[in-house]
Structure 1
Amino acid sequence: MIKKYYYQLICCLGLGLFMNSCQKDVYMFSSFHEPADEGLRYLYSYDGYNWNEIDGIYLAPTLGSQKIMRDPSIIRDKKGTYHLVWTIAWKGEKGIGYASSADLITWENQRIIPVMEHEPTTVNVWAPEWFYDEATGEYMIIWASTIPGRYPKGVEEENNNHRMYYTSTRDFKTFTPTQLFADPGFSIIDAVILRKQKDEYVLVLKDNTRPNRNLKVAFSDNAKGPFLNITAPFSAYLTEGPSVLKVKDEWLIYFDSYGSKKYEAVSTKDFKSFESINNKIHIPEGHKHGTIFHATTKDLNKVLKASKLKN
């Protein structure tokens, strides 16, 4: 009887460990390939350094006049649903693409969120990024747009003088009116918010002015800013598309070094000093920047299985 009890206990513990391992999160990287007319791709990683590409396209671009998908950003909500936003056009559109999925395979509720419809002279709506604000329970989307003549510029053309804007939602159906998110006094794109610790937020951004076109960081005590104390660049000329994740006690910042035609990464603990980790990472050729997000092992395995069936 005692042996039977211990056998049952061990089986239950083993099943519990198995279930926990199945639900353990893995890193996934939303991706696309140039010329951005094929659609959503994925990479995945178990350690945050070595990335594998998953074959296949998981959502073809059908929204907007140009029907492209650039800069796909994905976030998983508290109920386990994934939400995707992306750039639908280089110019001429005043919204971003949106879709949701329960499994990263079937995407539903596709529509354009008309975030800049109230600004008739808007040139573009680029690189939307999700951020969940734990302090307010809101899901924010930030993006870059140019409104000619609105802000001072340096050597930029009026049609290339970007500022960051944002909207937020709690239900992914209704969104707050668009507001200015960041005006650092220069053209800014490709910004990503992260929460370093309680009441300490970091904005990783691209200084898109012609002499710079590199990556910097700024700091705030609120997810909505203002973000101040902008640092010197931590990346070289012609770099963009930062994606950030935390591995143990270090933050890894991946970015597209389009000038040298390769993907790079740095690590930091304080966002003041940065160390190149290019010799520690592996990124598949052709990957273009999206967002690094958490997915369950179960969902990843579903995607891998679907990829095998497609191919």
Structure 2
Amino acid sequence: MRKSLIKYCWYLCCCIVLASCASKKNVYLFTSFHEPASEGLRMLYSYDAYHWTDLNHIFIKPEVGDAKIMRDPSIAQGPDGVFHLVWTTGWKKDQGIGYASSKDLIHWSAQEHINVMGYEPTAVNAWAPELFYDDEAKRFIIVFASTVPFRFPKGQEDEDNNHRLYYTTTTDFKTFTPTKLFLDPGFSVIDAEILKRGTHDYVLVMKDNTRPNRNILVAFASNPLGPYHDYTKRFTEMYSEGPTAIKAGNQWLIYYDSYRLKRYGAMATNDFKTFTDVSGQVNVPEGHKHGTIFKVSKKELNYLKKEISQH
């Protein structure tokens, strides 16, 4: 009887531990927008980072910028649990980006228009801002692409499409460091995302925006602000953009918008040197456009589903 009771208690404890671990296991959210980009923020979710389901809900409608659009939404969570969102507010003649924050992804702060390129009077745009939380320096880094005509050598691109990457940093999204050049790789570049692999070990995923390339590559650095080096070969088909990467198990998955093929592609890699096309293994809903992937708990996802169902 005593042995049976001990065995039962041990079994019960194991069940509780397993249930607790399962409830804390992360799931994946993928920010999204649909053309014509005036609707606002959408999100997909996945339990394995391969198969995605649309939450079919507009989380925040764009209200700032002359065009009142939201493209390229990027979300990063701070150490205090607050989610921060930045996005593209206009194609051309817009030197700022959109910003809002939320504690639960349902209720959002008042939107702001941050004039990141206002110091450059001829700057054409501020495209695809990406958020990265630098846990070593305890700050957020915002990287985006902009064109300052006649500033850099160019290839076949027009002067108003000869992009370089710029950045600003902030600790509170109230004050920002002066915008500076982040990367001039010697060619037009947009859609950059910083990844951290380990201490002093960073990868930059980006789009070569030159003609005729328009595809994805990566480079490496020991600091999130660079300098970046050892650029890889372009490893996606032409007409690829909007890359975002997430670690799933022991592999990294790099998603990208293959806009001529009208689908999302994906590459798997262990070392960012060799890449395996796994586009046939992923399932991304039609209409999903340039976003970024981040992790939340199952509890947070279930809260989102519950709140959405009540609206």
TM range (shorter): over 0.9
Q: Write the deviation string for residues 183-206 of structure 1: whole angstroms up to 9, x where unpaired.
A: 001100001111122222111110
- Residue 29 of structure 2 contacts residue 45 of structure 2 at CA under 8 Å; is this kept in 1? yes
Q: Residue 32 of structure 1 aligns with which residue?
A: 33
CA distance in 2, matches of 1:153, 1:55: 41
- Residue 220 of structure 2 contacts residue 230 of structure 2 at CA under 8 Å; is this kept in 1? yes
1:264 to partner: Cα distance? 0.6
- SS of corresponding position for 1:303: helix
Q: Residue 103 of structure 1 aligns with which residue?
A: 104
Q: Residue 89 of structure 1 aligns with which residue?
A: 90
Q: Write the deviation string for residues 200-245 of structure 1: whole angstroms up to 9, x where unpaired.
A: 2111110001111011111111110111121110001100000100
1:132 to partner: Cα distance? 1.4
Q: Spell out the pairing of 1:263-274 with structure 2 (5 A cutoff).
A: 263-274=264-275
Q: 1:131 is matched by which residue type in structure 2? A: F
CA distance in 2, matches of 1:175, 1:9: 54
Structure 1 residue 134 and structure 2 residue 135: aligned? yes
Q: Write the deviation string for residues 253-288 of structure 1: whole angstroms up to 9, x where unpaired.
A: 000000111111010111111001112111011110
Q: Residue 59 of structure 1 aligns with which residue?
A: 60
Q: Write the deviation string for residues 79-129 of structure 1: whole angstroms up to 9, x where unpaired.
A: 111100000011111111000011111111321111111111110100000
Q: Residue 155 of structure 1 aligns with which residue?
A: 156
Structure 1 residue 230 and structure 2 residue 226: aligned? no
- SS of corresponding position for 2:69: coil
- SS of corresponding position for 1:90: coil
CA distance in 1, matches of 2:232, 2:34: 31
- SS of corresponding position for 2:110: strand
Q: Residue 259 of structure 1 aligns with which residue?
A: 260
CA distance in 1, matches of 2:77, 2:21: 18
- SS of corresponding position for 1:196: strand
1:17 to partner: Cα distance? 5.2
- Residue 131 of structure 1 contacts residue 193 of structure 1 at CA under 8 Å; is this kept in 2? yes
CA distance in 2, matches of 1:19, 1:176: 42
- Residue 76 of structure 1 contacts residue 295 of structure 1 at CA under 8 Å; is this kept in 2? no
- Residue 193 of structure 1 contacts residue 204 of structure 1 at CA under 8 Å; is this kept in 2? yes
- Residue 76 of structure 1 contacts residue 294 of structure 1 at CA under 8 Å; is this kept in 2? no
Say which is worse superposed, 136-145 or 165-174, in terms of deviation: 165-174
Q: 1:165 is matched by which residue type in structure 2? A: Y
Long gaps (5+) in structure 2: none
- Residue 63 of structure 2 contacts residue 111 of structure 2 at CA under 8 Å; is this kept in 1? no
Q: 2:73 is matched by which residue type in structure 1? A: P
> Percent of pairs identical after alignment?
53
1:135 to partner: Cα distance? 2.1
1:152 to 1:25, Cα distance in 2 relative to 1, 3 A: same
TM-score, normalised via structure 2 length: 0.94
- SS of corresponding position for 1:285: coil
1:21 to partner: Cα distance? 3.6
- SS of corresponding position for 1:108: coil
CA distance in 2, matches of 1:16, 1:62: 45
- SS of corresponding position for 2:291: coil
Q: 2:187 is matched by which residue type in structure 1? A: F
Q: 2:112 is matched by which residue type in structure 1? A: R
Runs of 4+ off more than 4 Å = 1-20
- SS of corresponding position for 1:307: helix
Say which is worse superposed, 131-140 or 175-184, in terms of deviation: 131-140
CA distance in 1, matches of 2:172, 2:5: 49
Q: Residue 280 of structure 1 aligns with which residue?
A: 281
- Residue 194 of structure 2 contacts residue 224 of structure 2 at CA under 8 Å; is this kept in 1? yes
TM-score, normalised via structure 1 length: 0.94
CA distance in 2, matches of 1:48, 1:165: 29
Structure 1 residue 211 and structure 2 residue 212: aligned? yes
Q: Residue 300 of structure 1 aligns with which residue?
A: 301
- Residue 127 of structure 1 contacts residue 144 of structure 1 at CA under 8 Å; is this kept in 2? yes
- Residue 104 of structure 1 contacts residue 299 of structure 1 at CA under 8 Å; is this kept in 2? no
- SS of corresponding position for 2:145: strand
Q: 1:154 is matched by which residue type in structure 2? A: G
> CA RMSD for the aligned pairs?
2.0
Q: Residue 309 of structure 1 aligns with which residue?
A: 310
Say which is worse superposed, 298-307 or 57-66, in terms of deviation: 298-307
1:79 to 1:212, Cα distance in 2 relative to 1, 3 A: same
